[in-house]
Structure 1
Amino acid sequence: MKNRTWLITGVSSGFGYEMTKQLLEKGNKVIGTVRNKNKVADLIEKYPDIFTCEILDVTDIHAIHKLVDSSFEKFGRIDVIVSNAGYGLFGAAEELSDAEVDHIIATNLTGSIQFIRSALPHLRNQGGGRIIQLSSYGGQVAFPGNSMYHATKFGIEGFCESVAQEVAPFKIGVTLVEPGGARTEFRYGSAQVANLMPEYDGNPAHGFLNMLDASKGQAPGDPARMAARIIESVEKEPAPLRMVLGSQALANTISTLKARVADFEKQTELAASTDFPAGE
C-alpha cells in the first residue's frame, strides 16, 4: 500500500484516532482535526513531521471551508478525505430538546455535507481522490430511541450516494462506511442521552440504556480491525459505495432490506393505480 496524504475530521478518539495511528505508523501524512489537542498529544509528539493537528468545530461552516482550503494549499495534494466527526444522541423523539436536535444535525449531517463540499473543487482540480464518509448501519436500519441519529445518517447516505454519481467522471470515489457496534468512546463515553421522561419507562425507546451499559455486554466490533478495513478500502477500484463492518451489522442490514423490498413488492398494484392509463 503506497503512502498517501489524508485529511480526517474527529481524530481524538474512536475510528478517527485508530485510523490516524495506523496511518502514521505506516508513514502516511495525516491532517487530523480535533477540538482538544491534548487528546492526541501522543501522536503530535511521536510524529511531528507527518502529523498536522488542527482545531476544528465541524458546526462552524466558515471554519470548515478555511481549514480545507488551507490544507490543500499547504500540502498541494490530499489523496483521501475522511468525514468522521460525529456522535450519538439517544432518547425518544419527544424527550429531545430543540437544542439537542439542532446540534446533532449541525454536527453529523450539515458538518459532513459542508466538509465534503469544501473538498470537491480541490479533488476535481487535482484529477481525483477518495472521499470516505463514516456513516453507520444505522443509516439503513432504524431502532427506537435513536431517531435523530438515524435522521442524520439516513440523510448523509442519500447525500453521498448522489454526490458519488456526480463526481465519478472526475475520478473521485465515494465510500460510505457503515460500522456496527464497536468498543469506542461513541458508545462508552461520548454518547449523549436526552432528559428521559418517566412516561417512556419500559418503552422500547429506552432499550438503548442496556446498550450503553458495558457491564451488560461489550459491543462486538474491534475498532482497530475496522479502521484497518477502512484504510484498505482506498486500494479498491472502483471505490465501494458502501462497506458494512461487523457480522451482526451486516445480518441486521440484510434482513431489514429484504423486509423492505418485500413490502414494496406488495405495492405493485397500488403504485400502478396512480399512473395515467397507457396512451393518455
Structure 2
Amino acid sequence: MSARTWLITGVSSGFGHELTTQLLERGDKVVGTVRSAEKVADLSGRYPDTFRAPLLDVTDPAAVRDVVDRAFAGTLFDDDGRVDVVVSNAGYGLFGAAEELSDAQVDRMIATNLRGSIALIRATLPHLRTQGGGRIVQISSYGGQVAFAGNSMYHATKWGIEGFAEAVAQEVAGFGIGITIVEPGGARTEFRYGSAQVAELMDAYDDTPAHAFLAMLDPANGLAPGDPARMAARIIESVDVEPAPLRLVLGSQALDSTIDTLRRRVDGFEAQRDLAASTDFPAGE
C-alpha cells in the first residue's frame, strides 16, 4: 500500500497523538494541528520530512479554512497537495449537570466539538471533490448514541455532529468521498484523565446521577477498558474498507451499551404506531 497523507486535528494528546504516531511510524505523512507546538516537539524532531504541526484553534472558522487550504495546496510538504484522509478529532469533555454549566462553558463546548468539526468538514469538501475523492473520519463517541446524566452538553455536540456527518455522507458519496463516524467507548487517554473539564458543582446534585461521573474520572476507581493504541489501529484500518463504514464502534462495553439503548428506543417507537397513525389524514382525503 502506498503512503497516504492525513490531516488530523488535535494531535497533541489522546487519539490524535496515537493516530499520528502510528501513521508516522509506518511512513505516512501527517498534517497534525495543535494549539501548542511544544506538545508535539518529539514528533517534529523524529519526523522532520513527514510531519507538520500548524497551530490551530478549531473555534476559528477562518483559521480552519486557512490550514485546510494550505494542506491541500501542497505548501506544507512542498508536494502535489493531495490529502487522502481528514480526521476531525479535536474536542474535549465537559461534565456537570445542565444547571451547573456556565454560559461560557456551553458556548465553548459547542464551538469546539460541534462547530469546529462542521467547519473542518465543510472546508475540506471542495478539495476532496476536486481531487476525485478521499475519506473523512469524524471522531465521535458512543455518547453520540447513548446519553448519561452529567454529560448533557457533550452529548449535545456528539449527537449533533453525528447527524451532520450522516447527512453529508449521503451528499458526497457520489464524489468518491467516504465518511466514517467513530464511536469509541471509554479509553485510557487524557480525555478522561487530564483534559476533562468539570462545572462548578452544586450540593443539590450530590448523591444524584448527575454527579456519578466523578467516580469515573478518578483512576483509583478503575481504569477505562479501552486501549488507545488498539483503537487507533482499528481507525487506520477502516480507511482501507470499501465502501466506507458509516459507523465504527470501538470497545465491547460501548457496543453492548449502544445496542441495548437502540433496542429500547426501537421498542418505544414501535409502541407508538397507533398514536403516530392517528395524526394522519384518513385515506383518500
Q: Which TM-score band applies after superposition, normalised by the shorter structure?
A: over 0.9
| TM-superposition CA deviations, 1:182-225 (whole Å, max 9, x none) | 00000000000000000101110000000000010000000000
Task: Tell me the amino acid that sits aligned with residue 31 of structure 1.
Answer: V
Correspondence 1:115-130 to 2 at 5 A: 115-130=120-135
Correspondence 1:12-91 to 2 at 5 A: 12-74=12-74, 75=79, 76-91=81-96
Is the partner of 1:6 in helix, strand or coil? strand
2:224 pairs with 1:211: no
112, 118, 129: which one aligns with 2:117 = 112
Q: Which consecutive segments of 4 or more residues in structure 1 shift more than 2 A?
A: none
The answer for the alignment partner of 2:271 in structure 1 is 266
Is the partner of 1:40 in helix, strand or coil? helix
The answer for the alignment partner of 1:190 in structure 2 is 195
Task: Tell me the amino acid that sits aligned with residue 51 of structure 2.
Answer: F
2:160 pairs with 1:138: no
Is the partner of 2:201 in helix, strand or coil? coil
Partner Cα separation in structure 1 for residue 66 and residue 35 of structure 2: 16
239, 243, 259: which one aligns with 1:238 = 243
Partner Cα separation in structure 1 for residue 255 and residue 197 of structure 2: 25
The alpha-carbon deviation at position 3 of structure 1 amounts to 1.4
The alpha-carbon deviation at position 70 of structure 1 amounts to 1.1
Give the superposed CA RMSD: 0.5
| TM-superposition CA deviations, 1:224-265 (whole Å, max 9, x none) | 000000000000000000000000000000000000000000
Partner Cα separation in structure 1 for residue 271 and residue 188 of structure 2: 39
Task: Tell me the amino acid that sits aligned with residue 162 of structure 2.
Answer: E
Partner Cα separation in structure 1 for residue 178 and residue 250 of structure 2: 19
Q: Which runs of 5+ in 1 are unaligned?
A: none
Partner Cα separation in structure 1 for residue 159 and residue 9 of structure 2: 20
Q: How high is the TM-score relative to the length of structure 1?
A: 0.99
Q: Percent identity?
A: 73
Partner Cα separation in structure 1 for residue 235 and residue 165 of structure 2: 16
Partner Cα separation in structure 2 for residue 226 and residue 2 of structure 1: 22
Is the partner of 2:226 in helix, strand or coil? coil
How many residues align? The count is: 280
2:284 pairs with 1:279: yes
Task: Tell me the amino acid that sits aligned with residue 183 of structure 1.
Answer: R
Task: Tell me the amino acid that sits aligned with residue 216 of structure 2.
Answer: M
Is the partner of 1:17 in helix, strand or coil? helix
Q: Which runs of 5+ in 2 are unaligned?
A: none
